[in-house]
Amino acid sequence: MKALSQSIRNLLFAFFFLSGYMTFGQETYISSYFEIDSVPGSIEQTAEKVKEAIFSWGFETIGEYHPENNVDLYVIAFTNEKLKEITFNVKEGGALASVLKVGLLRKGSMTRISLLNPEYIFYAYLRDEISDYSELKKIGETIKTGLQGFGSYYEPFGGDVSIKDLKKYHFSIGMPYFDDRVELNEFTSFKEGVERIKSNLDKNIGNTYKVYEIIDEEKETAVFGVGLLDSEKGEGFFLPIIKEKNIAAMPYQIFLQGKQASMLNGRFWFALHWPKLTMRTFAKIRKTPGDVEDFMKALTE
């Protein structure tokens, strides 16, 4: 009986460990990322297999790129109609949660696969605006279960945050919250905003790169995923400092709602996507939130 009880405890631990949920007392914690496995083959070969799998799960790849212009790093962004329907109905920035991301990092002859935990982002971006998370949890579980097929190794990493804290996330006292977005520019119309941002991205202003766009003209809402390829102030500067292992955080986003273009405050965004970041490391990229703001403002002017 004692051995049986231990087996049950082990099974329960495995369930919580692989799902990314752990409960301590009254708090349920969620992992920020999953490391799926390292698989043989190039980034290009692995990316094709991942995109095929994404399609088979009912999702669409909407963008992909090499962060830092580094051939050893790759991000695949994807979504589906159900996820867009749910998130775009949350007016205050909900559309930012409409895109899921897989990261690839090549080490020698192996390519490591990681996932930005969908539910981690759902709780952080949608907060109490969503009363029933059941559909979103199904979406998250579809991705997590599907990616487990890429190897035997599957482990949460990057730090855990409780659901309660995710819904009102900030790094520390005096730091911004989700709602403290940076206003970039106000246009005469939603149409003008879309055209201006698309035109500037097509010109690669500030050495930026359009990874993806989702535009809902009826709701007058758009999200643009923007690669920051400037070697001195962009990804090539900050990612090596704060860990490229969290590569599935990228790219950064511009949010357009009606006439107003905005972005998440960098001091919120970096802390959320690197929850184990120390104050000492944060200090090393202290200028980065302002640099990102400059890049995004240039894209909306």
State how many domains the chain has: 1
pLDDT of residue 172: 87
| Residue 146 included in any domain | yes
Q: What is the pLDDT of residues 161-178, one digit of tens each?
A: 999 999 999 988 889 999
- CB proximity list for 122: less than 8 A, separation 6 or greater: 97, 130, 133, 136, 140
pLDDT of residue 8: 38
For residues 75-104, give the mean pLDDT: 97
Among 37-51, 198-212, 244-258, the range scoring the smallest mean pLDDT is 37-51
Q: Is 80 exposed, middle or buried (0-12, 13-18, 19+ CB in 10 A)?
A: middle
pLDDT band at 9 (very low <50, low <70, confident <90, very high): very low
How high is the mean pLDDT of the chain? 91
Q: Which domain holds residue 70?
A: 15-167+178-300
User: Distances from the Cα of 118 to the Cαs of 76, 154, 174, in angstroms?
Assistant: 14, 15, 27
Q: Is the confidence at residue 156, as pLDDT, over 60?
A: yes
For residue 119, give the nearest of 167, 82, 151 by alpha carbon: 167
| Residue 233 included in any domain | yes
pLDDT of residue 11: 39
For residue 216, give the nearest of 89, 54, 77, 99 by alpha carbon: 89
| Residue 3 included in any domain | no
pLDDT of residue 250: 98
The residue that leads in pLDDT, 182 or 150, is 182
pLDDT of residue 26: 61
| Residue 9 included in any domain | no
The domain that contains 92 carries what CATH number? 3.30.310.70
pLDDT band at 20 (very low <50, low <70, confident <90, very high): low
Instruction: Check residue 264 and report its DSSP letter.
Output: -
For residues 69-93, give the mean pLDDT: 97
Q: Is the confidence at residue 130, as pLDDT, over 90?
A: yes
| Residue 8 included in any domain | no
Q: What is the largest CA-CA distance in the chain?
A: 72
pLDDT band at 148 (very low <50, low <70, confident <90, very high): confident
Its pTM surpasses 0.85 = yes
Q: What is the pLDDT of residues 262-300, one digit of tens each?
A: 999 999 999 999 999 999 999 999 999 999 999 999 999
| Residue 172 included in any domain | no
pLDDT of residue 153: 79
**pLDDT > 90 in the chain, percent:** 84
pLDDT band at 154 (very low <50, low <70, confident <90, very high): confident
| Residue 264 included in any domain | yes
| Residue 192 included in any domain | yes
Q: What is the pLDDT of residues 95-126, one digit of tens each?
A: 999 999 999 999 999 999 999 999 999 999 99
